[in-house]
Structure 1
Amino acid sequence: MLAPTHSVFGVFLTLIILALFGVKLSLHWTIMLFAILGALLPDADHPASIIGRFLYPISSRIERRFGHRTVTHSLIGWMSATISASVLIAFVSLIPLISRWGWSDLPVRWAAAFSIGYFSHIVLDMFNKRGSQLFWPQEVRDVIPLNHRYRINSGSRPEIVVFIIIVLMLALTLPISKYGIGSSLHWLLATSGSAIEEFKSSNLVSYLEFKGYFKDTKQPISATAEILDVVNERIVILLDGKIYTISDELASDIIAEKMRVKQGKRPVQVERKEFKDKSREYLESQIPDKALVSGTIHLPEGMKVTLPAGAGSFNIFEQKGGDLYLRFAGKKQIRELALTEQFDLQRKRDLVDLSGFHARARKIRSQITEAGEEYEGLTELGKQALLGKEGIEKQNARIAELQSQLAEVNLNIEEVQLRIKSRKFVYSGEVYIRL
């Protein structure tokens, strides 16, 4: 076979095998370059070949000593070339530019592509009239098929037909090698289950291209939405700023007829934040405009929150006792959180009570001051002469009673202040912000 046929077949076989092993994004030009290099190198034993002319001093010596399609077209030659290339690639991978260019994951694929390309050359030459000495140094040539009339001469018209067929097969292989066999199968099936499996296999931001209808209104819809999560075999999506569930089941907000996952280019970014007695305004200031918040918020005792209604059946808010659970809540929805009328009324009552206790405390302090200042300029003898012993005792008892009343009122003030503080609308807890 000629170099173009070997090159195309080497790339084709490389992409197929890498896809079978779950390697995505195999279309990098360097991978195909190593596959072509491997597919051409066995002809280094033939000085007239492309690679032979490039390596002429070596190719001429190999041909004189071993002949064409012998040692370089054998399993020994394949393994030797693979090991040598792998060692060389390992040294090349240490060059800082490889990492700087974002190629740090490619060296292993380069070695695999070279090895597959090399082996593809040996296999393809077995369909030639002369075949290959696969088990060199045995002199028996291995051919496919055994009948020589069905084998191909290099450069003949049948080889051109084979070349065209391989090119067509390569074209069909390109999407498989880009997305992987699993992803390609998921794309063809376009079902809810295949979309879920595709979403779970990636850590990138994913989008769902779907066609279906809303369960409640039967209104048809064809759109693309960001995938947030999978809950009970239903995909949670963000569509036009609202949260919906979608699947092929009737329990979803959107019943899908077809759905395919499209991978984005950036990874999912999530920030973890802890809050302790922080206001809603503070929390809002920590949330970017398009971010979504999930997590648990501990509310003050007795607080009930008015939960805004969602667009679909997916509850972005849920209150259980003193805990508020958030699932992909946007900044707008968090702003809509409000205290109940009962809580507002109780808070107003607390403020009224606090104001009354402060007024009473001021009155008692004024009475204590008046009682103490009434006979402030008199000596003890003067007070006894003016009030008598019994009058002094009554005055002291009156002041003591007022001081006791003031202490009780101050205690009431502290209790109301603590109650107001405990009822202050603040957040404590742990949330995850999806950027």
Structure 2
Amino acid sequence: MMALTHAIISTAGISLILTTNDPIHLALAIAGSQLPDLDTSTSTIGQIIFPISNWIENRYPHRSITHSLIATVAIAILASPLYFYIDWKTWLCLPLGHLISCFSDVFTKQGVQLFWPHPAWCISVSNPNRRLQTGGTGEYWVLAIAAAVLIAAINLSGTGGPTALVGTSLGLRSNAIETYQQSSASNHIYANVTGTFAADSAAADGKYFVIANEGNEFVVINKQGIFKTGTNIIAARLTAEVGKSASSSIQILEFDEEEFAIAPIPDTLIFVTGTLTVDEPDSIKIVTNPKQLEIAKLIGDKITFNYCPLETAIKLLSGQYITGSLEAKIFSPTPDL
């Protein structure tokens, strides 16, 4: 029972503190929440890793060394490769899950030696009758409340967290940029726009996928085309919405008098930016739309792309021998447009 309570409390805390609903983050939180009970062979994790738990149990009192801040620091150090090879949030989930679990035990009858090797026991209240009893009614109430907080935290993280939720309701432009900068590396980001097209003042209201931000503006796309707020769309209200988990990356493509031969990648959305020199500029025909962002421009023997979809670039450069470089921005999986 206590193992489940620790798991729910730690995942709720981490989801709320780190504004995340990433399954990997939550799984690491659960793992961290179980580590304090390695000091007893009767716990869930103690039975799974019996040799280790049995060794600790025979040498240290329950809720001492493994429930201490020293243990949290040790876990943070051991988990440091996650920081260097993945990101800081993933790394922090394991030690933070451990710390939250240890702190929750402060409210039980026994308490914990949080500052081990100092022998003092950290207990929340002086009256033993007000402390939680493992498996008692109080623990069920804590479990229910923690589960409710976890559900709320996961839902909040899907909107970018409490701050983003408030900013969204107010339609703050700065909040939309902040939401994009915080979450675009791990999620699809959408812009909800209320405004008009600069070319003809027609309504531009709708939901757009965000390709990039430039200053306080977004480069966005929907089924009708690619646009830039502040240039193609005059937005009276602009908010950002966090979508499903995804990845975005940048790849540099170099060409040296070679034929353009790049194929699309399944379940990705790719945009290219940069300037190339082409050998047959007269064969390139670019169709523009005054309402949309100019994604391709040909001057002499040089073609410049600006967030041009890869499929469009492939059609324009078919059969061309090119020199130069392109920056490819890759989104995976393909977002909903």
Same fold at TM > 0.5: yes
1:209 corresponds to 2:192: yes
Match of 1:66, SS state, is coil
| Cα separation, 2, equivalents of 1:132 and 1:231 | 50
Report 1:245-284 matches (<5 A): 254-257=234-237, 259-261=239-241, 265=246, 269-275=271-277, 279=281, 281-284=282-285
Please report how far the alpha carbon of residue 246 of structure 1 lies from its aligned counterpart in structure 2 after TM superposition.
5.3
CA deviations 1:249-301 (Å, max 9, x no partner) are: xx98555456334568555632423347964x4332xx6x8xx8xxxxxxxxx
Gaps of 5+ in 1: 20-24, 94-102, 293-307, 317-327, 335-424
Indicate the structure with greater helix content.
Answer: 1
Partner amino acid for 1:224? K
Q: What is the aligned residue count? A: 282
1:153 matched to 2:133? The reply is yes
> CA–CA distance in 2 between the matches of 1:260 and 1:39?
33
Residue identity in the other structure for 1:193: S
Matched, 1:224 2:207: yes
Higher strand share: 2
Q: What secondary structure sits across from 2:305 in the alignment? A: strand
Distance 2:27 2:220 in 1: 40
Matched, 1:174 2:177: no
Deviation string 1:221-250 (CA, Å, 9 cap, x unpaired) is 642235567688565655664676657xxx
Query: Residues 212 and 148 from structure 1, CA distance in 2 versus in 1: closer, same or farther, beyond 3 angstroms?
Result: farther
Unaligned runs of 5+ in 2: 250-269, 310-337
Check 1:278–1:188 CA distance in 2 against 1; reply closer, same or farther (3 A cut). same
Backbone CA RMSD of aligned residues: 4.2
What is the identity, as a one-letter code, of the residue corresponding to 1:71? I
Q: What is the deviation of 1:206?
A: 5.1
1:119 to 83, 88, 99: 99
Q: How does 1:22-421 map to 2 (within 5 A)?
A: 27-29=22-24, 31-83=25-77, 85-86=78-79, 90=81, 104-105=85-86, 111-177=91-157, 180-181=160-161, 186-199=167-180, 202=184, 207-211=190-194, 222-227=205-210, 235=218, 237=220, 241=224, 254-257=234-237, 259-261=239-241, 265=246, 269-275=271-277, 279=281, 281-284=282-285, 310-311=290-291, 328-329=293-294
**Residue pair 1:276, 1:429 contacting (<8 A) in 2 also:** yes
The superposition leaves residues 393-424 of structure 1 with CA deviations (integer Å, 9 ceiling, x where unpaired) of: xxxxxxxxxxxxxxxxxxxxxxxxxxxxxxxx
> Residue by residue, what CA displacement relative to the aligned partner does 1:139-195 show, whole Å, maximum 9, x if unpaired?
321111334333211111111111111111111221454565465555454333322
Q: Is the 8 A contact 2:106 2:123 kept in 1?
A: yes
1:192 partner amino acid: R
1:15-57 Cα shifts (integer Å, max 9, x gaps): 33434xxxxx65133x333322221121122232212223344
Q: TM-score w.r.t. structure 2 length?
A: 0.65
One-letter amino acid of the structure 2 residue matched with residue 225 of structure 1 = Y
- Relative to structure 1, is the Cα distance of residues 263 and 48 closer, same or farther in structure 2, using a 3 angstrom cutoff? closer
Structure whose CA Rg is larger: 1
Identity among equivalent pairs (%) = 23
Alpha-carbon contact 2:177-2:240 (below 8 Å) kept: no
Aligned CA distance change for structure 1 residues 239 and 188 (closer, same or farther; 3 Å): same
* Residues 100-145 of structure 1: per-residue CA shift (max 9 Å, x gap): xxx9526x65542221122122101100011111122333211113
CA contact (8 A) 2:160 2:241 kept: no
Aligned to 2:121, the other structure's residue is in SS state: coil
2:51 & 2:221 partners in 1: Cα distance? 64
User: Distance between the aligned counterparts of 2:17 and 2:240, measured in 1?
Assistant: 24
- C-alpha offsets along residues 72-100 of structure 1, whole Å, 9 cap, x if unaligned? 222233334444x437xx4xx8xxxxxxx
- The code of the aligned residue for 1:105 comes to I
Q: 1:432 aligns with which of 305, 309, 312?
A: 305
Greater CA drift, 119-128 or 209-218:
209-218
Q: Could you tell me how far apart the structure 1 residues matched to 2:160 and 2:242 are?
A: 13
CA distance in 1, matches of 2:76, 2:214: 47
Does the 8 Å CA contact 1:246/1:256 hold for their aligned counterparts? no
1:368 paired residue number: none
Change (3 A) 1:278 1:258: same
